[in-house]
Structure 1
Amino acid sequence: MRTAILTIATVAAVSAAAGSGFIVGRPQHQATEVPRISLVTAAAAQAMDAPIYYQDPDDKPSYSLTPRKTPDGRDYKAVPAGADVSFDEASAPEAMPPAPMDRKIKYYRNPMGLPDTSPTPKKDSMGMNYIPVYEGEDSDDGSVKLSPGKIQRTGVKSEPAAQRVIRTLIRAPGTIQLDERRISVISMRAESWVQKVADVTTGTRVAKGQPLMEIYSPSVASASAEYIATITSKTTGGDGPFGRGSRQRLMNLDVPDAAIVAMEKNRTVPIAIEWSAPRDGIVLERNAVEGMRAQPGDVLFRVADTSVVWAMADVAERDLGVLAVGQAVIVKARGFPNREFAGKIDVIYPQVNRETRTARVRIELSNPDGALLPDMYVDASINTGAPEPVLTIPESAVLDTGTKQAVFVDKGEGRFEPREVKIGRRGDGYVEVRDGLKEGEPVVVSANFLIDAESNLKAALKGFSDAGAHQ
């Protein structure tokens, strides 16, 4: 009797677990038969193959917990519990994977990445197992761990920090201006008349000492006669105080030295004095006309030396901190696109334009052939880089929040550590790292925004798990 009761209890328990529908109270000899036990096992296996959800027949990402049809009348296909329904890189078995003996599970996270955690094993609404998070994987350093498949699909690439010379260029537009120190004006210091003008016009290139015009001035003629009388007098002598005073009077009237020397040599008073070019250059202005009367101060000629010119460049306010007098500059004229003119910063003007937020920088350029003309448009490239190499990483590796900058350091085996860095100069696609990295440490240079998103998700999950632990 005791044996019969145990047999009936066993059959009833197995039947309830498999959902087979056996009724307690059948004859005892039927419950002890081996074929009855095999039928229960088959029923349990059939229950395991029951559909847990339904999927689009074309494998589209459309699912349903109940039977459903497509718009064209086809049935959704049933997905049993034993099928591979994992959305991760590798298929996971239905049974909960055993935890390693030497590692402790902290919590279980949602397999679809939702901000939902559980302190115990659990399944989501689609029957997927929650993923265990071990203590080693959820380290307090904030590192992120990705599977090899995800790293390959997202295109994560790393590059070590290395010493490089950063070549930082500041580009600024500008115009060519004449050197103020190389412009000469020819004007009379006394009332004069223009007797003759040389074959010189505006734009003509002249050499120093080349005749420009002949001038008759009563004041100059009087001073010349006095000087000649002084140097030919036998009583005073030309080297006495009176003779030196007469010569100084001619110099005060701006009589050219060549004309004074000719007077001393010929001992005659010239009717007209020849005025010559004071320097090599180009005639910028000609106002002298034969027979005209020139009043003191009237500009008759203006000559400029163009062998050295200025480039006046407008530099943005944000770039002023890296500029210094003497820095090398390369200037390209729009009229000569295949030619470069080398120069250096001569003056940084101490004023910022309030409308354009730019400051003017004066660049001194050599112009021996006169190719650069006044008011010509140019583009200046100012090299602000230092010749010494510095620790650098690609610009794409930096995640800038506006208040701080960070990078992801590749620790190997799919683990990436976020680290705050202090950056410096930029140039040629690289950025200087002043603090936070060591030479040779690899940083993520591609798809780092995806790792950042994974890091934010991990922080959210950790916050949920900590909140659940305190409840």
Structure 2
Amino acid sequence: MTRLLQSPIWLLLPALVLLVACSDLAPNEGAEGETAMEHAAKHADPDYTCPMHTDVREDEPGQCPICGMDLVPVEEAEGASDTAEGPAVELGGRLTQALGVRTEAARREDLRPRVRAPVRLTIPPTQEHRLHARVRGWVRELHVAGEGEPVAAGDPLLTLYSPELVNAQREYLRAQGTGGEAAAAERLRALGVSDEVRRRIARAGEPLSAVPVTAPADGVVTELPVRAGEAVAVDRLLATVADLDPLWALAEVSARDVPVLREGLEAEVVPHQRPWDPWEGTVQRILPEADPDSRTVAVRIPLANGDGALTPGLFGRATIRGPAREGVVTVSRQAVIRTGEAARVIIAHGDGGFSPRSVETGLTADGRIAILEGLEAGERVVTSGHFLLDSEADTGAGGGRMEGADDEGGHAGHGGMH
């Protein structure tokens, strides 16, 4: 008998007795396919943990050594953390005020996005005329003071002397009445002589020693790089005349904002040179190619500039009003907590209880954000103090209570998180 007590098999007797006792259970009392050891584990004492501090584990019920909360079975605490809405947190009335918790009701409304982007003022290409020398020659005289001078179509900008121009005029005069006049006139056009100057040559009956270079359209002289007496070669830029009405405001829109834009949308442009005076316009074109460096898409907004108040080359800021999205559920933007690609809000249950809920967000406009899924109009969400509540819920404290100096029934002396 002494030898039997010393045998290791004596240590297995409690487990064997338990297995024998459980062998009389009906088959439907155990899980299908359950091993004997798994079934025995069900009858052992469960582990207990604190809902607030899940790293605390005890073999029997009691209080948490950290916060004093009653310990609960591990399965209960884990089940509470798996709810669809997340574990709830309860606050006393005075603590709610002390923490600055504020709530609002989600509402259904029309939401119109506003896309803001920097702009640069430019001259439309069709309104800019560059005049190049088509023959070798010399600048005889300048007829405009310099850049910025307004000119009308046909006004002389400068006169150019060139032996080639003199010879072309003589050929034109000799061709008068011979049937070759049209070909000679076309050669003068090819050399940059305007029809008005050609008719002047015909009336004079002799070549001009210096041919005027005239403005092709009404506008402003934006470039005048030559000076009187300067020799010029073929293709030398002589002057640039531009019509400054309208100008283009080219907005550099972030690629993520492009999907909400459409041609014809209203836009407001505030030039940096006149921040007190916004210009109204409409989106004329959304360019089909993005800038690979800035990852932006250019959006063209023509602006009327009849008084010349806007200056090409300067910058400003545009606000484009997108199409309205009707009847969407919205909350204040500060109510949404973003964690990476996910988003959630804190639901206020009205009885001092709060719980986090995952939501799917949409567009943002005027401080409001659309909630596509996860929230109904009328439900109350926390807009201030929600980060503390979210952190509290993240501990897995299903049914936990944060208490301070409560209005009624508060427990003085706790003063911490429960």
Structure 1 residues 155 and 289 mapped into 2: Cα distance closer, same or farther (>3 Å)? closer
**Match of residue 146, structure 1, among 45, 66, 90:** 90
CA distance in 2, matches of 1:125, 1:187: 90
The 5 Å alignment of 1:42-441 reads 115=54, 130=70, 140=83, 142=86, 144=88, 146-149=90-93, 150-231=95-176, 233=177, 236=178, 240=179, 242-264=180-202, 266=203, 268-272=205-209, 273-312=211-250, 314-315=252-253, 319=257, 327-343=265-281, 344=283, 346=285, 348=287, 350-352=289-291, 354=293, 363-376=301-314, 378-383=315-320, 385-389=322-326, 390-441=328-379
Secondary structure of 2:307's match? Answer: coil
What SS is found at the alignment partner of 1:392? strand
* 1:308 and 1:366 in contact (8 A); partners too: yes
In the TM superposition, residue 363 of structure 1 has moved relative to its aligned partner by 4.8
1:317–1:352 Cα contact (<8 Å) kept = no
The separation in 2 between residues aligned to 1:123 and 1:132, in whole angstroms, is 9
Q: Deviations along 1:99-151, whole A, 9 cap, x unmatched?
A: xxxxxxxx9997x955569999856779x884999x9xx79554525255244
* Alpha-carbon distance in 2 for matches of 1:327, 1:123: 64
| Aligned AA (2:317) | A
Q: Judge which range, 278-287 or 115-124, deviates more.
A: 115-124
* Residues 89 and 399 in structure 2, CA contact (< 8 A), matched pair in contact too: no
Deviation at 1:200, TM superposition (A): 2.8
Aligned residue number for residue 102 of structure 1: none
> How far 1:188 sits from its partner (Å)?
2.9
1:34 equivalent in structure 2:
none
1:223 partner amino acid? A
Shift of 1:224: 3.1
Looking at structure 2, the residues matched to 130 and 290 of structure 1 have their Cα atoms a distance apart, in angstroms, of: 98
Output the amino acid matched with 1:210.
D
Structure 2 alignment gaps of length 5 or more = 1-46, 401-418
Conserved? CA contact 2:265–2:320, under 8 Å: yes
Report the CA distance between 1:258 and its aligned residue: 0.8
In structure 2, do the counterparts of structure 1 residues 461 and 436 end up closer, same or farther at CA, with 3 Å as the change threshold?
A: closer
Deviation sequence 1:163-193 (CA, Å, 0-9, x none):
3344544444454443333222223322344
Residue type matched to 1:397 in 2?
A
1:451 maps to which residue?
389
TM-score w.r.t. length of structure 1 = 0.60
Structure 1 unaligned spans of 5+: 1-106, 463-471
Comparing 166-175 with 294-303, greater Cα deviation is found at: 166-175
| Partner Cα separation in structure 1 for residue 271 and residue 338 of structure 2 | 37
Contact 2:131 2:237 in 1 (8 A): yes
Shift of 1:161: 1.8
Are the counterparts in 2 of residues 281 and 306 from structure 1 also a CA contact under 8 Å? yes
- 1:53 — aligned with what? none
Alpha carbons 2:159, 2:213 under 8 Å: kept: yes
Amino acid at match of 2:142: V
Map 1:28-39 to 2 at 5 A: none
Q: Which moved more, 1:300-309 or 1:160-169?
A: 160-169
Q: Which has the higher contact order (CA 8 A, sep 6+)?
A: 2
Q: Provide the secondary structure at the position in 1 that maps to 2:168.
A: helix
1:393 Cα deviation from its structure 2 partner: 0.9
Please tell me whether the aligned partners of residues 144 and 158 of structure 2 are also in contact (alpha carbons under 8 angstroms). Answer: no
Q: Which amino acid aligns with 1:222?
A: N
Larger radius of gyration: 1
**1:458/1:119 CA distance change after superposition, 3 Å:** farther
The one-letter amino acid of 1:350's match is: E
Identity rate, percent: 30
SS at 1:339 equivalent: coil
Question: What SS is found at the alignment partner of 1:223?
Answer: helix
Q: Which amino acid is the alignment partner of residue 150 of structure 2?
A: R
Partners of 2:83 and 2:186 in 1: CA distance: 91
Output one character per residue of 1:260-292: Cα deviation in whole Å (capped at 9) or x when no partner. 23345x262342433321122222332444444
Task: Tell me the TM-score normalized by structure 2.
Answer: 0.66
Instruction: Name the CA distance, whole Å, in 2 between partners of 1:386 and 1:426.
Output: 13
Change (3 A) 1:119 1:165: farther
Contact 1:312 1:362 in 2 (8 A): yes
Distance of 1:119 and 1:160 partners within structure 2? 45
Q: For residues 460 and 119 of structure 1, do their structure 2 counterparts lie closer, same or farther at Cα, with a shift above 3 Å needed? A: farther
Separation (CA, whole Å) in 1 of partners of 2:146 and 2:391: 73
Q: Aligned partners of 1:147 and 1:293: how far apart in 2? A: 88
Over the residues paired in the alignment, what is the CA RMSD in angstroms?
Answer: 4.1
Is the contact between residue 196 and residue 214 of structure 1 (CA under 8 Å) also seen in structure 2?
yes
SS in 1 for 2:158: strand
Any conservation in 2 of the 1:347–1:363 contact (CA below 8 Å)? no
Structure 1 residues 456 and 290 mapped into 2: Cα distance closer, same or farther (>3 Å)?
A: closer
* Alpha carbons 2:90, 2:399 under 8 Å: kept: no
Superimposed CA distance per residue, residues 377-409 of structure 1 (whole angstroms, 9 cap, x where no aligned partner): x23234263323332111222222213212233
